[in-house]
Amino acid sequence: MSQLFPKEIIENSQENNFSRHGTGTRVFYVFLLAIAFAGLGLLPLIKVDVGVRGHGMIRPVMDIVPVYSPVPGYVRKWEIYENSRVGKGDIIAVLESPVIRERIRANRLRRKRVAAFIDDLTLLIDRQQIPAIQPAGLVTPRYQQSLEELRQQLVLQQLVTDNLQNRCNRKKELFAVAAASKTEAEAVCSERDNSKARHKLFIKQQRQRWSSDREMLIEEKDQLDSEYDQLLTEKKQHRIRSPVSGTLQNVLGAFHDSFVHNSQVLAEISPDTALIAEVHVASADIGLLREGMSVRLQVDAFNHHEWGLLHGTVSSISEDVQISDGRLFFTLRCTLDRDYLELANGIRRNIKKGMTVQARFIVTRRSLLQLLHDSIDDWINPIWYDTTQDNTPEN
């Protein structure tokens, strides 16, 4: 059968072009439409975690503890070095105060003298026969001299009494032979009795003075003992101890014989306590967060694809908002389930203070349809409030 049209015309015809480039079926387009409708149908069924992000840092539960000098003094021992570890109660510095040292020395000397005075007075008061006490039996020169003066006065009084006793005896003898009157004899004997009474009264008064002195000295000794205890307490304050276990930092550059002022900061201690994550969350995202929520932490110093994440729990949320660089945020403290990260082969690395982290708080689970709706709503809804304009309603 002969061709109606030449070959050149047939090759350039519309029918030939459709036959060469046209689709024999619309299966591919139907397949694409089916996938699209299936995807739309799955939007309400597929749910994902919705969370809030924040950034923060690993830190100890307890804040940095400054070490103050409670008293002024010169350095006699210095065990404070940068990054060195100390235990709670360790002596890290010893100071010396010349004033305290001199007061302790003077107190000891005075207490020793007062104790010697009390011992001498006790001996003088308790002995019935004062003349039998020898001055050499006393310790202090004060009461050795006092006893010697008393003994001399007693000897003189005894001589007077003996003289009056002799006169009384003679008068009695003369009265017996009628050579003297009874009145004369009684007068002389009365003087003798008065002398004996004065002798006893003198001894009694002296004992009373000694008793009074001893009471005053005992009271002084009690005060000295109390002062001594107080001085020892102040001296103990010169032995500066570490209040907590931890690592020293920001150490004062002091050395032997350096002078340290009262309340001067000697160093800071980073305490050995459990580690937490302190996370800052923007005020716009704080509404759905609460204590007890779980948190996932990505440590910036480690590749989370290899080392994984830390898990924790929100332990506290700050009550007041904070401002930094014009941004409002709240501070959350999160306890950690562990203080290390681990590779698949078992290699571990401990988390250290000061490492920065990225935190993600899981708030809820929402479907893809809900998320799509929220995105479209944010896109097409008008701006309800412009903070750059006056918000006073028009009349």
pLDDT tens for 76-95 read 888 888 888 888 888 888 88
pLDDT for residue 177 is more than 80: no
CB atoms within 10 A of CB 168: 19
The model's pLDDT over 97-123, given as tens digits with 9 standing for 90+, comes to: 888 889 999 999 999 999 999 988 888
pLDDT for residue 393 is more than 60: no
**Predicted model pTM:** 0.53
pLDDT-derived band at 8, boundaries 50, 70, 90: low
- Enumerate the domain spans of the chain: 47-61+273-372, 65-95+239-270, 99-236
Element (H, E) at 158: helix 141-176
Q: Between the ranges 14-28, 338-352, 380-394, where is the mean pLDDT highest?
A: 338-352
Looking at residue 175, its pLDDT comes to 57
- Measured CA to CA, the distance from residue 124 to residue 135 in angstroms comes to 10
Provide the token pair at 115: 């104790």
Looking at residue 16, its pLDDT comes to 62
Q: Which of 51-60, 151-160, 226-235, 319-328 has the lowest mean pLDDT?
A: 151-160
Q: Cβ distance 204 to 125 under 8 Å?
A: no
The model's pLDDT over 240-275, given as tens digits with 9 standing for 90+, comes to: 899 888 888 888 888 888 888 888 899 999 888 889
Question: How much is the average pLDDT of 173-188?
Answer: 63
CB atoms within 10 A of CB 200: 10
Average pLDDT value over all residues in the chain: 80
- Measured CA to CA, the distance from residue 138 to residue 44 in angstroms comes to 108
Question: How much is the average pLDDT of 184-193?
Answer: 71
Pick among 3.90.110.10, 3.30.450.40, 3.20.20.80, 2.40.50.100: CATH of 65-95+239-270: 2.40.50.100
- Measured CA to CA, the distance from residue 254 to residue 256 in angstroms comes to 7
State the distance between the two ends of the chain, measured CA to CA, in whole angstroms. Answer: 92
Closest to 355 measured CA to CA, from 283, 278, 259: 278
| CATH number 2.20.25.10 is the correct assignment for the domain at 47-61+273-372 | no
Same fold, 47-61+273-372 and 65-95+239-270: no
Q: Cβ distance 348 to 23 under 8 Å?
A: no
pLDDT for residue 221 is more than 90: yes
Question: How much is the average pLDDT of 341-365?
Answer: 88
Provide the token pair at 204: 């009694």
- Measured CA to CA, the distance from residue 208 to residue 355 in angstroms comes to 79
157 vs 74, 127, 188, 339, CA distance in Å?
Answer: 62, 20, 16, 94
Q: Cβ distance 281 to 318 under 8 Å?
A: no
